[in-house]
A and B are shown apart, each in its own frame.
Chain A
Amino acid sequence: MFNVVMQLSLLFISLSMLGLIYRLIKGPSVPDRVVALDAIGINLVAIIAIVSIILRTSAFLEVILLIGILAFIGTVAFSKYLEKGVIIESDRDL
């Protein structure tokens, strides 16, 4: 019963990732694609949690934190690039 529930939720998350990949390919503007990529990273965290329940191991739980941090840094870098044209500004050329 529990395994059936886990596989059902894995199916739901895979379907939602398919929808996000559709938006990633089709999205008319660049911020659309960045939103879709951020949501894909967040969904990847959920997939890792469910897979580590199915495999009954707690060895992959560091990956959750790692992917969360990487998705946040990537989104911040993309939005700074879209807004200002540079990611890391240097103070001297102001």
Chain B
Amino acid sequence: MIEIFRFISGAFILIGAFLSLVAAFGVVRLPDVYTRNHAASKSATLGVMSILLGTFIYFYIEQDHFNSRIILGIVFIFITSPVAGHLISRAAYNSGVKLWEKSVQDDLKEAVWRRESRVRQRDH
């Protein structure tokens, strides 16, 4: 029984490390800051959550130690990492970082333009 759970926690940790590696390949190879942010904030989050889940299972089985800090860490990373990705992506857009030159659609630009023209009409 302990061997089975040890195998499960090893599998979780290996999958998480592989996902982190995939995220790093995305960060190195993708063309602009938005796609890189997409890779980093999604797969790195999932990889680290999987690694922490494997660690939790290992300590619960091997040392019979229910560690609530790892659960808190999983929840905290799951909540905050997409928020951090959103904030830095919005800061990049508002500080004028260009999209990849082959991207075809920019809905946010149109929305920002419409909002500014509405503000200008109201001020007149």
Chain A interface SS verdict (over half): helix
Chain B interface SS verdict (over half): helix
Of the four ranges (under 10, 10 to 19, 20 to 34, 35 or more), the interface on chain A belongs to 35 or more
- Contact present for B13 and A82 (CB under 8 Å): no
**B16 to chain A: which residues have CB within 8 Å?**
9, 46
- Contact present for A16 and B73 (CB under 8 Å): no
**In the complex, per-residue mask of B9-49: 1 if CB is within 8 Å of any chain A CB, else 0:** 01001101110110111011000010011001100110110
- Contact present for A79 and B44 (CB under 8 Å): no
Q: State the A residues within 8 Å of B (CB).
A: 1-2, 5-6, 8-10, 12-13, 15-20, 22-23, 29-32, 34-36, 38-39, 42-43, 45-46, 49-50, 52-53, 56, 58, 61-62, 64-65, 68-69, 71-72, 75-76, 78-80, 82-83
